[in-house]
Structure 1
């Protein structure tokens, strides 16, 4: 009778190990064409996304645990937008192979990163640009309206980013409202736009901001707030009723919650 017991124990251990290492569910990736090959855009969760382009891998706000990134290439570049735990997540960073990654961050994030990463950090402030690895990274403001010292996101602390990848401009809003700097964006091919109260915009604010800068394609992301998930279908309807040319792409950024 010992053999069946040993076999059962072994199977149970294997199942447990597989459960611990199995990748988290992810929404399907999308691709667009650039002058230097395809750009793959992989939603992860909340405000986290991974780009693969020209042999390089870019992690944006890695968060949610290392299992969320299972099967993806190690990052060459990590962009972090803000100091909050759903953007700067040391626990997730510690579980990933980030030793060779350039970390592009605002000063407030640099000040809070664990010491082991300091040599990898390049600080960008609002309005600054960096050319690296064949791409251009521009840091732009992200903040709450009305501006106030006690706002969740004060002007100048965090960064939104515009990436130029093979001639395509990709905007990452970070945590912002429909500020003048966002509305003034030009020639954005792909936008990732937040919408979660009370921290950033509501759906209508996000829609009106998008209608102002007219990206070719937009993903609602970072849409979990205090009252659950924002109405991203309502966002799509509002945008496309006013401008049918904007490709609103809805993806499930919270598959683990289903």
Structure 2
């Protein structure tokens, strides 16, 4: 008998038969969708790009993504419920990155009416309503969350403003001030949707929100995302979501 013959192999020598998490997820059909409303249902970059151009003219030297990643995570997450909260958070942030009090006053004075105009002009992006109606009539459970603050508005109010509120389950958890979705928030959404976490596709343009979703077991979907920022499934158009989700048989009329 050769040395070692008949002895059990060590764990290091044994073939790895543990199923890969990604492979397991790919084998499980998507049966529900959770949408990060901001930036998915409507273009949320108009106000932010205007603000970024203004502060860079005032002397701030940074990149767009870095500027708002820090603002969202350290100044908006979990603390913004009203318009006053939002502007105070922005004031604190601009001061922390080096702008003087007078310059900050100028930014806020110019920004308030600009943001109000942007808020009142929001409309769903092309194809959003038609796709959501198709998904709803096929019985696909739909949920809504938000990865950036909507000062002065609840998520329900924003969906109503977009005239999309009737397409979502009334039993879904309300995000309140719409702070960045955390692990427990994703768990609540999965429970409300009535499916396992790995059957939920989370549709978001936020890298940080997608990372949180992956940590909870959700499958992430991005729309027209750049390759270096992509995780999970990428699709070119919102309407392609219809082909990703398995019908549940719980048909209902949309609207």
Tell me whether the two structures share a fold, i.e. TM-score over 0.5.
no
Comparing both structures, which one devotes a greater share of its residues to helix? Answer: 2
Comparing both structures, which one devotes a greater share of its residues to strand? Answer: 1
Larger Rg: 2
Higher relative contact order (CA 8 A, sep 6+): 2
